[in-house]
Structure 1
Amino acid sequence: MEAPRHDTRGIVDPSGLLNRVRFRRHEPAEPLRRYVEWYWLIDWDLPEPYASHVVPHPSVNLTFQWDEDEGPPYGEVTGVALGLYTRKLTGRGRVCGAKFRPGGFRPYAPEEPVSRWTGVALPAQEVFPQVTADTAREVVTPSDDAARVAALDAFLLALPRTPDPQADLATDLVARIRADRAVRRVGDFAHAQGLSVRALQRLFSTHVGVSPKWVLLRYRIHEALEQAAGHDDIDWATLAADLGYADQAHLVRDFTATVGVPPTAYAAEARAGR
């Protein structure tokens, strides 16, 4: 399995966020790596509120959070967010999260299709009754990362899992879509995998939570965000073609609908913040 990446893919205004918080990624214990892509830890101590925005990945997240001025630590399960995910950060706080691989959450909750959690955030104990009042505190209160990672490992290793070859297949197919820009059409991709479009759609709904077309479009927007934040003088027409759009207008439409501003405006703001 891949090690945690160091890019900021999906984060809107990454420099603005990273100037305000401490953000780290860590690998889970080896037996968990087929299910969990990485752990992500954020700590902040802010003089004024800040709204963090993320164009989410096709992943379910289990988080343990502590907003120190607002109450005790708590756990939350967040399904794939269809739109822009916004989290307001105030005062002092911490989040310790497990980002499941696309397909990786299903073995932990095999009674429901992963689409059951899409667009939903709910208390962790509603999905995992094993979460107690002490669980979140044991994860987020240690001062060092190693202890937090160890607590996440201990919790997830103790949870029952149902091995599912179809979940492994879904994980592999999403990874191929992410890595291969030549994947342009769902029908062609399904055919190349020896599947009907309907079978591919059922697989993704059950094990990923969103459709293969949604995954394909989301990774296009991630790439456009990454390019806009890190490069000057972008040829948007060429980028649109590279990402498989019919023309620049379609890229502009999808980017604006997802991020909230046109790509040229976002790129200008990113340059100003660098």
Structure 2
Amino acid sequence: MSDALGTLGRVPGPDDVKGILHPDEQARHRTLARLSAGPAVERFIEWYWSVRWDLRGRSPYFAEVLSYPCVNITFERTRTRTGGFVNGVATTKYIRELSGVGETFGIRFRAGGFGAYTGLDVGAFRDTAVELPDVIPESAGLTERVLEASSDAERRTLVEEFFACRPFLDDPTYLLVLRVVAAMEHDLELTRVDQVTARFGIPVRTLQRMFRRYVGAGPKWVLRRYRLQDGADLLARGRTEDLAALAAELGYFDQAHFSREFTAEVGMAPLEYAKNSVRSRNEVTAKVFPVGR
């Protein structure tokens, strides 16, 4: 199993904001922390994350994310919603309103990990959030214990003790899903499903069934989501000099196709998004290093 996990076990550092839209602007409205998964659960859990905000006296902020193809379990305490939830793969831009005071502690499962752990068809949870006890009945009471914990480390201990109790059997199909998804994420030359099926020797219909059952979305969507995340990340970092070349690197037929898909998913054109990111970064820098001081 450790070979199959490969580099997937790495917890992103604070500068790794791939998937987070308008990262500098978003960081001004909330804090984000991540914790690694322990050895008892790292076969199916990738890492833990926590978000906190205090916007009392300020306007609500709408945080936007191009989510990864994985299930998240969240333990939330906000002005509008409190509880534990199973969040399926979000196939459109995920938007979360942050208002007042709130916090979320999340479990990010590996792509396919939640399906392998529960034996459930993850496609049934796509674009939905379901209360945790409705999916895992034996989790009754876990949400209250997690939210009462005094630190993220204590919360991690509680959820790992719970999830480690259930036997986790080796699942060859899950291991194959891990390998395929890792290649899709990290190999920028993979831009079409037929390239994936050729590399791994999997018939396309078999791949589609595997992805619905374990990942919750089709392989074509997963490829496009990873490449869109790559594009948004590069644009936010200032890659604007040659959009046609960027589109080609991401596997699009031409710049027009990339621009249309990016605009449809993100809500603004690539150059507009890049300019917005630079403006937000400059505003942060100006506050940290005021002119004349």
Structure 2 length-normalised TM: 0.88
DSSP-derived class of the 2:113 partner: coil
Which residue does 1:127 correspond to in 2?
Answer: 135
Q: Match of 2:68, SS?
A: coil
Contact 1:8 1:14 (C-alpha < 8 Å) held by counterparts: yes
Structure 1 residue 157, shift from structure 2 partner: 1.6
How many percent identity over aligned positions? 36
Asked if residue 197 in structure 1 is aligned to residue 204 in structure 2, the reply is yes
What is the CA deviation profile of residues 237-261 of structure 1, one whole-angstrom value per residue up to 9, with x for unaligned ones?
1110111111001111111111111
Q: Secondary structure at the match of 2:137?
A: coil
2:105–2:152 Cα contact (<8 Å) kept:
no
Per-residue CA shift, 1:17-71, capped at 9, x if unaligned?
212212011111112112111101111111221111111110011111111x457
Q: 1:36, 1:104 within 8 Å by CA — same for their partners in 2?
A: yes
Aligned counterpart, 1:88? 97
Q: Is the 8 A contact 1:95 1:140 kept in 2?
A: no
- Residue 65 of structure 1 corresponds to which residue in structure 2? 76
Q: For this pair of structures, how many residues does the alignment match?
A: 270
**Alpha-carbon distance in structure 2 between the residues aligned to 1:161 and 1:233:** 46
Pairing 1:266–2:273 present: yes
CA shift, 1:160, in A, is 4.9
Distance in 2 (CA, whole Å) between partners of 1:104 and 1:163 is 12
Q: List gaps (5 residues or longer) in structure 2.
A: 282-293
Out of 240, 251, 257, which is 1:244 matched to?
A: 251
From 263, 272, 280, the counterpart of 1:256 = 263
2:216 aligned to which of 209, 212, 216: 209
Cα 1:246/1:148, change in 2 over 3 Å:
same
CA distance in 2, matches of 1:46, 1:152: 28
| Structure 1 residues 25-40: aligned runs within 5 Å | 25-40=34-49
Partner SS state of residue 150, structure 1: helix
1:121 is aligned with what amino acid? Answer: A
2:82 is equivalent to residue 78 of structure 1: no
State which of 164, 178, 181 in structure 2 corresponds to 1:174. Answer: 181
Query: Is 2:60 aligned against 1:53?
Result: no
- Other structure's SS at 1:11 match: coil
Is the 2:18–2:229 contact (alpha carbons within 8 Å) kept by the matching residues of 1? Answer: yes
Contact conserved, 1:232 with 1:271, CA < 8 A, in 2?
A: no
What amino acid sits opposite 1:59 in the alignment?
C
- 1:211-232 deviation line (CA, Å, top 9, x unaligned): 1110110001100110111115
The answer to whether the 8 A contact 1:104-1:168 is kept is: no
Letter of the 1:57 partner, please give it: Y
Q: Is the 8 A contact 2:44 2:117 kept in 1?
A: no
Q: Once the two structures are superposed, what CA deviation does each residue of 1:94-120 show, in whole Å capped at 9, x if it has no partner?
A: 11111111111112221x321111111
In structure 2, the residue matched to 1:114 is 122
Using the size of structure 1 for normalisation, the TM-score is 0.94
Alignment RMSD? 1.5
- The counterpart of 1:221, out of the listed 215, 228, 233, is 228
Q: Which runs of 5+ in 1 are unaligned?
A: none
